[in-house]
Structure 1
């Protein structure tokens, strides 16, 4: 049964296959501003190496710490992976606080499900499982956004109690209770 897990080297093979699926759908190009897109550009050419992957996993886990170095404008974020044994199915990131940019367009929580695992309820279950973690971080209402044409993501947010607030540019903005 799928569950949230801290990033782990145990899913290396499956993670690589998932990233190849994301690349096949066009993720990782210069216009992709998502976490997956950035990680594909920075690490994609070297992830095959177990040592590099282990370093990436350590870096990702450390991003939850206030003291960890991170790019300008980034905030501490707890990233969890949605796994079924050693099968990587997706990821969810909980940003500990909002910058002006995150308040407008990014929100507290972002998630991705690998293409071959979509439309199986994983995103809904993953978000539901992550809400108590957000609550433990002091987030009482999580801002979660999605593109205005992403009907599936909108349903995920609404199925987790998301209340529509407004639309800014192409982003629909919802507040989701964490408790």
Structure 2
């Protein structure tokens, strides 16, 4: 049974295995990974995890930084999920919630389970509805979002390569 946990340096090897499974690039939404983050070395990984857990990620006045959680089963990192509450331009571009599940853990309901938990967290932070954004061709993420009540935004937007969904929190 998976659990959501705060990022931890204790799972460095497991996180790297998940990261390597995705292949090169920055495509694990939900992990708060930036191109400049050194996640290979123990010191770099520690600095990255400290940034994620300290709330030092950017936030607007009155908003908290993102809440990052890892989806873990036993000692295996299955994925990550983030709740972003500010700044507004970041939320409008990337969504309130972003998630990524490692390829070997997909098609097991892990993403829907984690998204359901994060919707509850969003409600506890006072959000009545949240925006989720996925690539237009990512039918699996779109189906997961729709299964949890996501309604496709019909307003035109500048990025036709993405789909934008609004979800009422639980």
TM range (shorter): 0.7 to 0.9
- Of 171, 176, 179, which aligns to 2:167? 176
| Equivalent pair of 2:32/2:52 in contact (CA under 8 Å) | no
Query: Aligned residue for 1:100?
Result: 89
Counterparts of 2:59 and 2:115, CA distance in 1: 25
Deviation for aligned residue 1:124: 0.8
Deviations 1:16-70 (A, max 9, x none): 1111122x2x423xxx69566943x322xx433333322221111113xxxx364
Q: Which of the pair is proportionally richer in helix? A: 1
- Of 102, 119, 124, which aligns to 2:107? 119
TM-score by structure 1 length?
Answer: 0.80
Counterparts of 1:59 and 1:131, CA distance in 2: 23
Query: Aligned residue for 2:116?
Result: 128
Instruction: Give aligned pairs, total.
Output: 164
Counterparts of 1:135 and 1:8, CA distance in 2: 25
Deviation for aligned residue 1:141: 0.4
Counterparts of 1:49 and 1:16, CA distance in 2: 10
| Equivalent pair of 2:29/2:100 in contact (CA under 8 Å) | no
Counterparts of 1:159 and 1:20, CA distance in 2: 29
Q: Determine helix, strand or coil for the equivalent of 1:10.
A: helix
